[in-house]
Structure 1
Amino acid sequence: MKRIIILILNFFLFISANASMNKIGNLAGKIIDHNTQKPIENVMISIDGKPMGYCNKSGKFLIKGISSGSHKITFSRIGYEPRTKVNVVIKPNQTTVQNIEMKPQSVVIEGITVREETFFQESDDAPVSSNTLDIEEIRSQPSGAYDIQRAIQAIPAIVSATDADNEIIVRGGNYGENLFVLDNIELQNPNHFAWPGTGGGPVSMITPEFVKKIDFYAGAFPAKYGDKASSVLDIITRDGNENRFEAKFDVGMAGYGGNIEGPIFPGKGNFIVSYHRSFLSLISDDIGLAAVPNYHSVFAKQVFNFSPYKKLIIDQLWGNDWIEVKHEKKSGYTAAAGGDDVYAHSGQFTVGATYKSIYQNSYSLLTFFRNFNWWKHELYEAGTKTEESKTWSQNTYEAHNKIKFSVIFPETPLGKLESGGYFNFDEFYTDKFMRPDTVFVYAVGTEIIVDTLKDENGNPIIYALDEDNKIKEKIFPKNYGGFIQEEKQFGRITVNAGIRYDYLDYSHESSVAPRVGGKYSISQTSHLSLGAGRQFQNPDYYMFTANESNKNLKPKYTDQIVLGIDKLLAEDIKASVETYYKKYFDVPLNISSTTTDSVDWSSQKINAGKGYAKGIEFFLQKKVKDNFWGT
């Protein structure tokens, strides 16, 4: 196996060496108006300060013969704010795609000088606690491991769960409180070896190579986002290359794979396909690993441009992962004391389509998608794999089927307006088994059994999942809702406000969530921001099925207020300070946690939890310039 791997690596090194002999590449893309989404013509494209050409009337451009390496690309046109992209990598014999949105020049305010260019881009929808990143920044993040979720953990609002997990935990929050959005499609958890109710894992399924930009909201986020209590990670992927077919292979200790992209019809569409799988499974025998993680993932995207104003985007994401952990029988161990063989298998697939229509004074998005996640975990007595030796198992799947529609009016007397609604039809199935067993007491800090836990009569306590040792449930929750939000500028002040309504039929619970924010421009380089909002999150479906009484659980919610100030110290350096207060209400807790009975292990939950988090965050960021950057 070692020889095969060495031959493969040498083959691709040989190809790369020959390809790099021709040290020039191309830059292509399309430029549109950020507000109207319509193409912009005659935008000048400059590379490292040197004008290189203009886009055509369709907003498209293709610049050939660019030296390979990292470049600064600037897009400028009268009437629009210049856009600067740094650390754009041009590769030999390849075409780098850069699709750009340009904002109309803001109203000039007396006493404020407009800067010619800026390296920082901000979200329109939230004036506070928001950050925007692109592929160049993900690539440049030294602690990101080329992983989207790890890359944004440099933001002070985020802490990670463990070094082996990329879970996003925001401002005193919990697992599973971050909303993932991929090209307007909502994902449960885009990671391998995920667990129900969480949002992280050791390996991401999303290839950063295809990311156009990421908008991250750490609190008081826009009204168009819902059903999460803490944060939003909105990922927009780039289109494929419309000019030529290209392929790429990559390999590392985390895995290996490749991608292909190219045109579907000349000038009418493009596609991207990416496949990756684990690498350790190929060399496990050589390096002596007993438990080897195996995983595969596929990401694909197709874009069909029916006209400059009609566009269909289709996304697919598939992942499959499994691991086996086998133990040797040891004296002093029981099945409940860590001596089980573990067989874990899980996966997911998502397919969705968004139809984008651009009108004279507005544009709309119509999205359909299905997201399906499944888990099959089994534990057996060490060295066996029979029904009689099974100690615990879980066979669960969760599916979300959703249709949503939104329409955006960029310019109205009330400012920018956006409104939309959705209908969701879900499925959740679980089949859990646990063999009854004695509750043991262990010596502190060891796995040595010293006693058994006893009831008031002195009898050993036998813990069982249910009367027949299993839980088997299937439910079909439905929910629907809508939102409206507005952005309006009053001189130096920009105000964002919105409200959201959601209803879940399974628990017969509805929620109304207001959001508001504002930004005051002290100067062109300094801003004062304030935001507040309420965010609801429904209980995870496994909570509903754990106990009949849990059907009455209400959604938990957070109220958050954030005050911040930021200062652009230079075109590539920005400093910010934010202080926040976040309060939790109606958090589901095990009812056993509210009693003094030490042997009460009831699976019933009640909305008795509450809490708060507060803090001050300092953030200093330098964008890539002159080969130097950092946070």
Structure 2
Amino acid sequence: MYNRTVCIIFFMLISTMLVAQNNSAIKGKVVEYRTKQPLAGATIAIRENNFVAVTDSTGIFFIPNLSAGTYTVTITSIGYYDKTLNDINVVPGKTYYFETELTEDAIKLNDVTVRAFKGENNPQMPVSAFALSREEIFRSPGAQGDIFRAIGILPGVVSSGGQYSAIAVRGQGTSDNLFMADDIPLFQVSHLEIEGFNTGFNDPNGGRFSIFAPRVVENATFQGGGFGAQYGRKSSSYLGLGIKEGNRTNPLYSGQFDLIGFTLMYDGPSGFDKKTSLFASARYQNFDLLLKMIGLTHSGSPSYGDYMLKTITEINARNKLSFIAMFNPETYKRTVKNVLESKNLNDDNNSNFIGQSKVSKAVVGLNLRTLTGKSSYLKNILYYRMMDVNNDLGYTNPVIEPDGDIMPTDKINFEQDLRKIENEQQEVGYRSIFTQRGKHITFTAGADVARVNIDYSRKLKHTDTLYSFLPTDYRPNPAQYYLILTPDHFNAAFEDAAWNVSGYLDLSFTLFKRLTLNPGVRYDYTGFAAKHTLSPRISGMLELGGKHSINFASGIYYQDPAIADVASQPQGHRLKSERTIQYILGYKIYFSPDVKFTAEGWYKEMDDLAVRPSSGEPLLNNNGTGKAHGFDVSLTKRLSQKYHGQVSYSYMDSKRDDHDGLGEYNYIFNLPHVISLLGSYKPNDKWIFSGKFRYASGRPTDQYIVHSDVFDNAGYLRYAQEVKEKNGERLADFISLDLRADYKFRLKKIGWTAFFDVVNVLNRFNESSALFQPLTGKTYFLGLAVFPTFGMRMDF
């Protein structure tokens, strides 16, 4: 109710800013990517009617007298890559406004004019770079507008399963990726990642849904590795998100309603300052109806909200100020009633777990961009981010039939708050980044400083029993087939603050007109680890003539210890930063302006990895090491006409060794074979059809034996799982076919879009993890079969 009320009030307040307009038009501003200077003389052409405009000395253009409809705009300028913007929706009596950047064609590909999709052809990011536009994200079938489900199709990227949006990249985990929105680093980008669900510690699968509502992200730039020194504190991949900017000319409204909730948006002038635009979004999602429809009411009751506001103020010709605020609350509750609805504890997606989780995340940031010269600019970013977690976790003890059926009863023994976790994190940070483009060299230098505060508490109400264990776990008697977890070993209380400081330098220059080199170096001080690190990096691109290029990268990447892990350690015990060394070599060819083929091989060495020497206890050490290698092949057709698509294959092998006497094992995201196919087709202005097929090798899972009646007590029957080999077996292969259809039509001044989006139309149950049930001695699987949604969007 709280989230719904906030959405309604939010939309009513925004609606008061409506200003009438008589003519439809497109207006915009074009700037140079590397210097942010206005680009005069660029040509803007509308494909549908051959209308053409040219930018003035301030980079502004204006195309009036358009009829309502959907347009494709191509922007060209001598010495720059062409750029195409698709599905620009012009509504009656309104002016559609946008700003865009063109990238200089530093190394001319003689036989083809490449279109400059955001960040993809930046010579400072030649390796593993992929870009997605707002429309490509929205069209992605099965993604339901979720940016992280959309990028799960990219080569080298794997999701955690059908019900998860979190990603793992090239043999590393879901917590190893750097996410930034408008240059602000984010704590956590997913909903429903319930801390403490997995034996009191974080679920390695990550969260289920993104904190970004559909059509909030204007563009996304992804690098699966080899990213520059400007980005750090994570070691696997980089995802930069550009949040939608408001329309400066007149207000646009949109609303989306589907099975799980609604999203409302305002895109227009601020109403309080002529130089300020406003983009605002409010989303509320509740899964009760959908879970009832697909027969998963026993899963519990999840809901969340996502509220965002962004303003852009053109202070003057040289200074542009953006402000962004995000608030992302969520709740999840599973009760005794949900357990009884499940009927059988051996069923998939089942558990005797109960509890409730409340999580709030927020980000506030200011970003001032100043043009300091004709070829330089300075960005100063001030931000605050927080996360507040309050979880109560417990279990039920129903009476079980031999086959796992739960016996009907009016009373069931349960404990709601056996484990309680409170995790409050706050960070205040400042970033200053200066970029200078010279005749022969471009350099970026910057410094970051942040104050991180942690207030963490984890409590076990009384001694508990763990029924899954490793051969190396301490047991006072070899015939004791379970572990005892006492409050002394589990409880933690930590309240402290520390400074994080970084400095970095990235260079980019071209040799012999064909070879671009991008050396860089990064320094980090991590306060909670009390550790200084230096990480040199280099990437480059060798143009072979015409359409071909060879790409390469190598570097050292350090990753801060997770805040929850820092807080749970015994007093005086510090965790180190984990280290990854990367090597990448690739080949790229453009067959046409919007069709490219890439092939990349990669290798990683990892050390100082944080590992848990004893099951169920918080103590970690940095004894872990690892190696990973693989290659990615992809053929990508960008969205530039009526269709786009991608075919990719990834091979990856990832091994870890915790140095605990059990030897090397397959890492949880060791997936030897991943195949992805994506296609989207727009036959006319009314219909869009999209399909996505994904195949992946089954994820590793433990090989184990089961011990029965471990207490030798028929009145308290419990089974135990003794792991014989870490990740010695695999779950069933992942196979999913997702389909989406959109139908657009207009009624008077309102544009409508009806959509139908289905995850896994094959209704194949895809297993993401196997969990042992000590009440029955069986293994049940977490996963997802078909997951449909349909709804309506309106724009006016």
TM-score over 0.5 for the pair: yes
> Alignment partner of 1:138: what SS?
helix
What are the superposed Cα offsets for residues 117-147 of structure 1, whole Å, 9 maximum, x if unpaired? 5264423322111112221221332343211
Q: Which runs of 4+ in 1 moved over 6 A?
A: 282-288, 329-333, 383-388, 457-462
Give the TM-score normalised by the residue count of structure 2: 0.68
Residue equivalent to 1:419: 445
Q: Cα 1:59–1:432, aligned 2, differ >3 Å: closer, same or farther?
A: same
One-letter amino acid matched to 2:28: G
Question: What is the number of residues matched between the two proteins?
Answer: 588
Name which structure has the greater RCO, CA cutoff 8 Å, separation 6+: 2
State the match for 2:314 in structure 1.
Answer: 305
| C-alpha distance in structure 1 between counterparts of 2:419 and 2:41, whole Å | 65
Equivalent of 1:118, from 109, 115, 118?
A: 115
Amino acid at match of 2:269: P
After superposition, what is the alpha-carbon deviation per residue over 1:471-508, rounded to whole angstroms, capped at 9, x for unaligned? 22112121101000100012111111100000123322
Other-structure match for 1:455: 476
Q: Is contact 1:122–1:131 with CA below 8 Å preserved after alignment?
A: no
Cα distance in structure 1, aligned partners of 2:467 and 2:292? 38
Change (3 A) 1:199 1:65: farther
Tell me which of 393, 396, 407 is aligned to 2:420.
393
Q: Distance in 1 between matches of 2:326 and 2:635?
A: 35
Q: Secondary structure at the match of 2:150?
A: helix
Give the Cα separation in 1 of the matches to 2:416 and 2:496.
Answer: 30
Specify the code of the residue in structure 2 equivalent to 1:324. K
Alignment-derived partner of residue 249 in structure 2: 243
Residue 454 of structure 1: how far off its partner (Å): 6.9
Alpha-carbon distance between aligned partners in 1 of 2:26 and 2:486, rounded to the nearest angstrom: 60
User: How is 1:209-608 mapped onto 2 (pairs within 5 angstroms)?
Assistant: 209-264=215-270, 268-281=275-288, 289=297, 291-328=300-337, 339-360=352-373, 361-380=375-394, 382=396, 390-411=417-438, 413=440, 415-437=441-463, 439=465, 455-456=476-477, 463-467=484-488, 470-490=491-511, 491-548=513-570, 551-592=573-614, 602-608=617-623
CA distance in 2, matches of 1:506, 1:345: 26
Change (3 A) 1:279 1:389: closer
- Corresponding residue for residue 140 of structure 1: 139
2: CA distance, partners of 1:541 / 1:423: 17
Matches of 2:480 and 2:638, distance apart in 1: 66
Map of 2:753 onto structure 1: none
- The residue correspondences of 1:613-628 to structure 2 (distance < 5 A) are 613-628=628-643
Paired amino acid for 1:473:
F
- Counterpart contact for 1:177–1:199, Cα < 8 Å: no
Q: CA deviation at 1:626?
A: 4.4
Secondary structure of the corresponding residue to residue 113 of structure 1:
coil
Separation of aligned partners in 2, 1:140 and 1:459: 55
Alpha-carbon displacement from aligned partner over 1:457-476 (angstroms, at most 9, x marks no partner)? 97796733433963221121
Moved more, 619-628 or 350-359: 619-628
* Percent identical residues: 21
| One-letter amino acid matched to 1:403 | Y
Q: Counterpart in 1 of 2:130?
A: 131
- Aligned AA for 1:486? L
Secondary structure of 1:172's partner?
Answer: coil
Distance in 1, matches of 2:370 and 2:102, equals 19
State the alpha-carbon separation in 1 of the partners of residues 466 and 116 from structure 2. 60
In the superposition, the TM-score normalised over structure 1's length comes to 0.85
Asked if the contact 1:465/1:471 (under 8 Å) is kept, the reply is no
Question: Aligned letter for 1:425?
Answer: R
From the superposition, tell whether residues 540 and 219 of structure 1 become closer, same or farther in structure 2 (CA, over 3 Å). Answer: same
RMSD: 3.3
Deviates more, 1:601-610 or 1:424-433: 601-610
Deviation at 1:283, TM superposition (A): 8.2
In structure 2, distance between residues paired with 1:552 and 1:462: 26
- Decide whether aligned partners of structure 1 residues 438 and 523 sit closer, same or farther in structure 2, where only a CA change above 3 A counts: same
Are the aligned partners of 2:461 and 2:487 in contact in 1 as well (CA < 8 Å)? no
Change (3 A) 1:259 1:530: same
| Letter matched to residue 293 of structure 1 | P
Aligned counterparts of 2:496 and 2:638: Cα–Cα separation in 1:
48
Separation in structure 2 between the aligned mates of residue 373 and residue 386 of structure 1, nearest angstrom: 33
Residues 566/143 of structure 1: CA separation in 2 closer, same or farther (3 Å cut): farther
Contact residue 609 and residue 622 of structure 2 kept, 8 A:
yes
2-side partners of 1:541 and 1:131: how far apart? 30
Distance 1:156 1:254, change over 3 A: farther
Task: State the partner residue of 2:735.
Answer: none
Deviation at 1:89, TM superposition (A): 4.1
Structure 1 position 69, deviation (Å): 4.8
Q: Distance in 1 between matches of 2:192 and 2:213?
A: 16
Q: Which residue number corresponds to residue 182 of structure 1?
A: 181
The CA distance in 2 between the partners of 1:107 and 1:624, in whole Å, is 23
Question: Is the Cα contact below 8 Å between 1:438 and 1:460 reproduced in 2?
Answer: no
CA distance 1:493–1:270, shift in 2 (3 Å): same
Structure 2 spans left out of the alignment, 5+ residues = 2-7, 9-20, 196-201, 397-409, 469-473, 647-796
How far the C-alpha of 1:627 sits from its partner, in A, is: 2.0
Contact 1:189 1:200 in 2 (8 A): no
